[in-house]
Amino acid sequence: MSARLFSIQVLGVAALGTFCWGISTGGLAVEPKEGKELFEREWLPLDSRSHGGDGLGPVFNDTSCVACHNQGGIGGGGASSKNVQIVTAFKQGVDFEAAQGGLIGSLFSAFFGNPPPAKKPAPPPEDREAKMKQEKELLVKRHPGFATARSVVLHRFSTEPDYAPFRSHLIGLSELIGMGFPFVNQSEETLPGQSLPKLSRAEEHELGVLKAEGQFGNSLTLGGMGTSGRDGLVITLSERNAPALFGSGQLDSISDEVLVAAAQEKFAAYPEVTGRVAKLKDGRLGRFGWKAQKARLSDFVLTACAVELGLHVPGEPQSGVPQKPDYKAPGFDLNEQECRALIDFVASLPQPITRRGANAAEHSYLEEGSKLFESTGCAVCHRQKLGEVTGVYSDLLLHDMGTQLSDSGNYASFAPNATEEDELKQPLPTLITQGQKQKPVDESKLVGATRNEWRTPPLWGLRDSAPYLHDGRAATIDQAIALHGGEGAHAAAKFVKLTPAERLKLTLFLRSLAAPN
């Protein structure tokens, strides 16, 4: 199918409302070249390409789409240096009430010979509301985005000269402290009732080494650097690696029914694997983003324009200026036709390929690696086929990956006059530390992903998309597998039990999943 024919078909689907992005082109023709030019364009402040807007910024993470999506070709993933940074607000320290009866209570009894203090009665609603209001006021002084969300994108750059000092002060470079999760043992990375293969001492050591190499390979990507103040609040800094966009049109074509059916499937050998569909605030189902926070490719592309480049586009306001919370863009940077062209270009990016080997022997070797990928349990979540899309190696569902990979849940970009998130009506959460468990949640009431949950990333194109995991903390495939906790702990344990030769076959199979030619 030609790119032009695909473009026409995508537009036809969009006209039926599948893209759900809330704007129309008014019958304007869309040229694929225009979308490619917009994807590669280096934007400038007050850019001549703009339609009355302010061009690049005023806050941004880079100056073009291709700057962060280029590995393996135009539209690929990005290096860790291009990671999006996110700040999240928490209460500081240990939640003693939540830990009561656990490790804290045991230590209290051991040292003092008395039972821990009785649990205090819940404060009256008016006291809780007053406390929450006070915390919110303190956080808004640090960043106005905390008025409407618990987690906010912290842009790397700005056209405003006083942004750099603001950013440095928020991160607190002079008082940066490590709030990352301490290295946790295997048992703390499992789920209740989960049974893992028994590992020898050598295997446990090897798994621990792989985890440590990945976890501490890049300290700034640890979802755990944070600043604290005398107000008892903590702001953590975490990151998101730019994903490859190859095959995005195919992912967008996967129906809600396919996702719901995948979530309902059970696996007798892996009962802990209970992937769920990401339900968004508007009732749609998420597909795109590390937390499946976007329902459609159009949503994902337009949000990237607004957040990463600071472009004001129809249906998606550009990110606001923290030092000037009332600032508004004077006009649009992209019009409806240009937005459609850009979305169409991303949708037309070809899907990655699977290299089969140069001869029968090489093909057989990679096939053995594929079978090991299945036998270790990796293929339970990383499905080779989803709906009519083949070679994707994902179920696009949310899975609990354990506390070691825990990070901020949903996050937002500060925008003037944004609506307050529902989560802000609940008390500010306490930063989870080693030995603590997150409280059970009612999945039927969840909107978006929890801190432990991640969308199963498609593995197609894996060879050309390093580093791995949501923040790029894993430099190698082995490290990425070893860091799987929660629902993925079983597969990680089975992987480390493979012989070195078998492990090499599995990883080389994964490296046969390459970017498009």
Name 453's bridge partners: 400
pTM for the whole structure: 0.84
Q: Residue 176's CB: how many other CB atoms inside 10 A? A: 14
pLDDT (average), residues 382-407: 95
pLDDT at position 115 is 53
Structure tokens, 211? 């985890």
pLDDT in tens, 259-289: 999 999 999 999 999 999 999 999 999 999 9
pLDDT, tens digit, 9 for 90 and up, residues 175-209: 333 333 334 455 557 888 888 999 999 998 888 88
pLDDT band for position 227 (cuts 50, 70, 90): low
How many angstroms separate the most distant Cα atoms in the chain?
79
pLDDT tens per residue across span 307-343: 999 999 999 999 999 999 999 999 999 999 999 999 9
45-83 pLDDT, tens digit each: 999 999 999 999 999 999 999 999 999 999 999 999 999
Cα 415 from chain centroid?
Answer: 20
Give me the mean pLDDT over the 14-31 stretch. Answer: 38
Long-range contacts of 508-511 (CB under 8 A, 24+ apart): 508/365, 508/366, 508/369, 509/366, 509/368, 509/369, 509/370, 509/372, 509/373, 510/369, 510/373, 510/459, 510/462, 510/463, 510/477, 511/462, 511/463, 511/477
**In this structure, are residues 244 and 393 in contact, taking their beta carbons and an 8 Å threshold?**
no
